[in-house]
Amino acid sequence: EIVMTQSPATLSVSPGERATLSCRASQSVSSNLAWYQQKPGQAPRLLIYGASTRATGIPARFSGSGSGTEFTLTISSLQSEDFAVYYCQQYNNWPSFGGGTKVEIK
Amino acid sequence: EVQLVESGGGLVQPGRSLRLSCAASGFTFDDYAMHWVRQAPGKGLEWVSGISWNSGSIGYADSVKGRFTISRDNAKNSLYLQMNSLRAEDTALYYCAKESTGYSSSWDPFDYWGQGTLVTVSS
């Protein structure tokens, strides 16, 4: 089983600022890494797949990078609707999720 | 429009069984692998089980292996999760999720999710 570790657990950011979220895999997952956004009471939404490709309809302020075991999700200028919990997921093998990073208003 | 509608959740005593269903529409169901993902109250996402488009490949999280069984009926556009020997730690919202690529020989991210069905295991 591939263990995904996200940091930090909580990130306090002011609107308009940049947010950088990290995700680490216990073994290489190549570029088979996705990021999801989840808001309270809603199902997760796919943001990024293939480590760096934005899903359909996702704004350009969301970007992903990394390969192997280290990955980053960057939100260039946080909007009010971006405050949520973000999960990384590897799908190089049977899928597994990280524990999540909550992005909250500072 | 892709729709995934879960059903079958409810309150069940420890040790008992429950069968979840996911009705799919808006896409060619038998082209895509499908998964169950759960989320305990106030916690993160946990992958539970997945099944390939032709049921040829099936996997389970260690936490449910030997107790849960995933299946699909492509004629009915439906995904199922048979849950036996339920424990308190199985209490969660159970989501059905669709993979993004059809006829895939590998695993892919999940592009559509249902709204979930709540399973509560308690005496």
Note the pLDDT of residue A38.
98
Q: Per-residue confidence at B104, pLDDT binned at 50, 70, 90?
A: confident
With an 8 Å Cβ cutoff, are A55 and B111 in contact?
A: yes
Note the pLDDT of residue A13.
96
Closest B-chain CA to A40:
B42
Which residues in chain A are contacts of B44 at CB distance < 8 A? 85, 87, 97-100
Q: Per-residue confidence at B102, pLDDT binned at 50, 70, 90?
A: confident
How far is the C-alpha of A77 from the C-alpha of A15, rounded, in Å? 7
Which residues in chain A are contacts of B114 at CB distance < 8 A? 43
Q: Per-residue confidence at B42, pLDDT binned at 50, 70, 90?
A: very high
Task: Give, for all 106 residues of chain A, the pLDDT tens digit.
Answer: 999 999 999 999 999 999 999 999 999 999 999 999 999 999 999 999 999 999 999 999 999 999 999 999 999 999 999 999 999 999 999 999 999 999 999 8
With an 8 Å Cβ cutoff, are B109 and A93 in contact?
A: no
End-to-end CA distance of chain A: 36
How far is the C-alpha of B8 from the C-alpha of B92, rounded, in Å? 13
Q: Please, are residues A47 and B5 in contact by the beta-carbon 8 Å criterion?
A: no
- Predicted confidence (pLDDT) at residue B105 exceeds the cutoff of 80: no
Compute the mean pLDDT over every residue in chain A, rounded to the nearest whole number.
97
Query: What is residue B75's DSSP assignment?
Result: G
User: Which residues are registered as beta bridge partners of A12?
Assistant: A104
Which residues in chain A are contacts of B50 at CB distance < 8 A? 94-95
How far is the C-alpha of B88 from the C-alpha of B14, rounded, in Å? 6
- Predicted confidence (pLDDT) at residue B103 exceeds the cutoff of 90: no
* Shortest Cα–Cα distance, B79 to chain A (Å): 18
Note the pLDDT of residue A98.
98
Query: What is residue B76's DSSP assignment?
Result: G
* A34 close contact with B: CB closer than 8 A: yes
Q: Per-residue confidence at B74, pLDDT binned at 50, 70, 90?
A: very high
